[in-house]
Amino acid sequence: MITAVDVIRAKRDGGRLSEEQIAWVVDSYTRGVVAEEQMSALAMAIFLRGMDAGEISAWTGAMIDSGECLSLRVNRPTVDKHSTGGVGDKITLPLAPLVAACGAAVPQLSGRGLGHTGGTLDKLESIPGWRAELSTDEISRQLNEIGAVVCAATEGLAPADKKLYALRDVTGTVESIPLIASSIMSKKIAEGSAGLVLDVKTGSGAFMKSLDQARELARTLVAIGTAHGVATTALLTEMGTPLGRAVGNAVEVAEAVEVLRGGGPADVVELTVALAREMLALAGLSADPAEVLASGAAYETWCRMIAAQGGDPEAPLPKPRHVHVLAAPADGVLSGLDAYAVGVAAWRLGAGRARREDPVQHAAGILLHAKPGDRVTAGEPLLELHTDTPDAVAGALEALDGAVQVGPPPERLPLVHEIVRS
């Protein structure tokens, strides 16, 4: 007979959990048989002792089995993308319609922001009328008719992960690679896509601060996908500086539309195209995403995708009630702009949330007038802080204290550090 205490003790003492133990404890926790305090103890034991590849794969499988798997009836090759989270990371917005315009089906089930990282659904909800909640039939129909859908996960998808994610958030176990990897992959595998490309970020604005940590996570994710029959590739990408020039909700949607219309910041375009190439390779399609982006076809797909979910792609986006301009402190070259600090500042302005039930301000965020490597002039605008609550500016400025450096030109880090394949 398996008991929660025996499973906790086994992992606490550095033992290896069997598939039977893992299946039992995940199922029992989902049904409420294993208490929150017992799963908290087990999560901490996993955080401290780790798991081997077999345990992680079994844990992922148990979380998938806790709920339903989507049965998508789609007439195109399916491929999805997941980012581990960053600052200014609006890549899903141009990427999904771009890959769809190249001939694939992209079932992008996304989440909401928490803390300093933004949520794709929060961003899209700044578009008047757009809705995140779709049924499985609606998802399948939209994929067949348009090729892309960005929406919330259905209620029955990996319910064990929903419970465990909330528990990890309040028990100091978020950073555990086995628990991060199984959380990500249980939802993505349950979606039913044949291929998956992972954007694993590293740097101050990422959960994995070092390249070594990011590489370990990427390899773990790819191994899980491969073990469960999903063709999986991971890109290790830089997140020491915010992506693009917009951080927030409506401001990131506006920037994504710029990219889809053939403009936008070079780093956002570069990463969008790089991820699209990998997604199309997994889908077995030979289209050139750079050419398709330049043709306007991805923007047309975007408009259809937004309209299909009740949104008006031509409607004006929300504007903030208050704008505070932060000036450059000196003449010279902007040598540093810390992504984490900018993310926390945007969160404090109202773009993010501290708890899942908190509301967000659609107009809140930060516009960057310069990026590292650009010349700046003392007194000229450097950052624009957008909010509907002027009292929030003081906290945002506190978060930005020390985040801006003017000095020698910074080291140019590659946007894509490396690619991990199975």
Mean pLDDT of the chain: 94
Alpha helices by DSSP H, listed for 125-205, are 136-145, 159-171, 177-191
Domain with 175 in it: what CATH number? 3.40.1030.10
Edge-to-edge order in the sheet of strand 246-248: 246-248, 365-368, 381-387, 322-327
For residues 23 and 109, the model is more confident at 23
Do the domain assignments include residue 295?
yes
CA gap 255, 152 in Å, rounded? 22
Do the domain assignments include residue 413?
no
CA gap 309, 311 in Å, rounded? 6
187 noted as active-site residue: yes
pLDDT at position 357 over 80: no
Torsion of CA 134, 140, 146, 148, to 10 degrees: 70
Note the residue count of the chain: 422
Nearest alpha carbon to residue 236 among 274, 273, 262: 274
Structural domain ending residue among the three candidates 314, 342, 367:
314
Nearest alpha carbon to residue 379 among 327, 326, 325: 327
Q: Which two tokens stand for residue 149?
A: 């859908």
Q: Do 175 and 281 fall within a single domain?
A: yes
Question: Tokens 């003449």 belong to which residue?
Answer: 331
CA gap 115, 112 in Å, rounded? 10
Confidence (pLDDT) at 259: 98
Looking at 161, 199, 267, 338, which residue is catalytic? Answer: 161
Do the domain assignments include residue 416?
no
Q: State the amino acid at position 35 in one-letter form.
A: A
Model confidence pLDDT, tens digit, residues 69-104? 888 889 999 999 999 989 999 999 999 999 999 999
| 387 SS3 class | strand
Confidence (pLDDT) at 94: 98
Structural domain ending residue among the three candidates 314, 335, 366:
314
Q: Do 201 and 338 fall within a single domain?
A: no
Model confidence pLDDT, tens digit, residues 127-139? 999 999 999 999 9
168 noted as active-site residue: yes
Confidence (pLDDT) at 131: 96
**Global confidence as pTM:** 0.94
Looking at 126, 140, 183, 204, which residue is catalytic? Answer: 183
176 noted as active-site residue: no
pLDDT at position 30 over 70: yes
324 noted as active-site residue: no
Nearest alpha carbon to residue 222 among 65, 421, 54, 412: 421
Can you spell out the DSSP letters for 176-199?
Answer: -HHHHHHHHHHHHHHHT-SEEEEE
Q: For residue 79, what are the contacts with CB-CB under 8 A and spacing of at least 6? A: 99, 104, 105, 106, 193, 194, 195, 196, 197, 279, 280, 282, 283
Model confidence pLDDT, tens digit, residues 193-224? 999 999 999 999 998 999 999 999 999 999 99
Q: Say how far residue 406 (Cα) sits from the centre of its chain.
A: 30
Looking at 11, 81, 82, 348, which residue is catalytic? Answer: 82
Do the domain assignments include residue 67?
no
Confidence (pLDDT) at 114: 66
Q: Do 193 and 247 fall within a single domain?
A: yes
Looking at 11, 123, 163, 187, which residue is catalytic? Answer: 187
Do the domain assignments include residue 421?
no
Q: Do 342 and 195 fall within a single domain?
A: no
Confidence (pLDDT) at 165: 83
Model confidence pLDDT, tens digit, residues 285-342? 999 999 999 999 999 999 999 999 999 999 999 999 999 999 999 999 999 999 999 9
Q: Do 255 and 107 fall within a single domain?
A: yes
The residue range of the domain holding 23 is 4-50
310: left (phi over 0), alpha (psi -120 to 50) or beta: left
Q: Are 198 and 400 in contact (CB under 8 A)?
A: no
Can you spell out the DSSP letters for 253-284?
Answer: HHHHHHHHTT-S-HHHHHHHHHHHHHHHHHHT
Q: Are 218 and 224 in contact (CB under 8 A)?
A: no
Do the domain assignments include residue 414?
no
Residues 385-389: what's their mean pLDDT? 97
Q: Say how far residue 107 (Cα) sits from the centre of its chain.
A: 14
Do the domain assignments include residue 420?
no
- What percent of the chain is predicted at pLDDT more than 70? 99
Nearest alpha carbon to residue 268 among 294, 246, 300, 291: 246
pLDDT at position 272 over 80: yes
- What percent of the chain is predicted at pLDDT more than 90? 85
Q: Do 109 and 231 fall within a single domain?
A: yes
Q: Do 297 and 357 fall within a single domain?
A: no
Q: Do 174 and 240 fall within a single domain?
A: yes
Q: Are 271 and 237 in contact (CB under 8 A)?
A: yes
161 noted as active-site residue: yes
The number of domains in the chain is 3
Q: Do 123 and 222 fall within a single domain?
A: yes
Q: Do 87 and 115 fall within a single domain?
A: yes
Measured N-to-C along each axis, helices 297-308 and 92-101 cross at an angle, to the nearest 10 degrees, of: 110
Do the domain assignments include residue 370?
yes
| 231 SS3 class | strand
Q: Do 267 and 202 fall within a single domain?
A: yes
Confidence (pLDDT) at 31: 95
Question: Tokens 């394949």 belong to which residue?
Answer: 421
Confidence (pLDDT) at 116: 78
Looking at 90, 112, 116, 168, which residue is catalytic? Answer: 168
